[in-house]
Amino acid sequence: MRNESPIYFSVAGEYSTSFQTYWARARIGRNLKGFAFGPEGVALGNVGFDAQRIGGFFIFDWKALPLMSPIEVTLNAGYQFVAGDNGGGGGVGGGEGAYGGIAFSLLF
């Protein structure tokens, strides 16, 4: 975590004209020495699928090797709400229910 501010804030998103696919995420939280945590909100979908997620995140730096830059590890979990009738299958983003994830980012 290279940000020295006590407040962590992140907004990311993308849109594609193919199938009108979109994804957007906002996070705000507390930034402490070496880690950050707080709530997150996500919206994702396409022509046949629309979902919103509300949950939390936890980010920390992991120094895997002495000569390597730290790896930023992100854990997130929450609940996904699916809008409309998608035939019960959930579509590409899954059905309604709990979600969880882990991501690794190499900082350089």
Domain boundaries, the chain: 7-106
- Contact predicate 33/60, CB 8 Å: no
pTM, two decimal places: 0.82
At residue 2, the pLDDT reads: 64
Q: Which pLDDT score, from 0 to 100, does residue 70 have?
A: 85
CB neighbourhood size of 69 (10 A)? 12
- What is the Cα Rg of the chain in Å? 16
Per-residue model confidence (pLDDT) at position 50: 92
Please, what are the averages of pLDDT over each run of 10 residues along the chain (108 residues)?
Answer: 83 94 97 94 92 97 82 96 65 82 88
* pLDDT number for residue 63: 84
SS3 18: helix
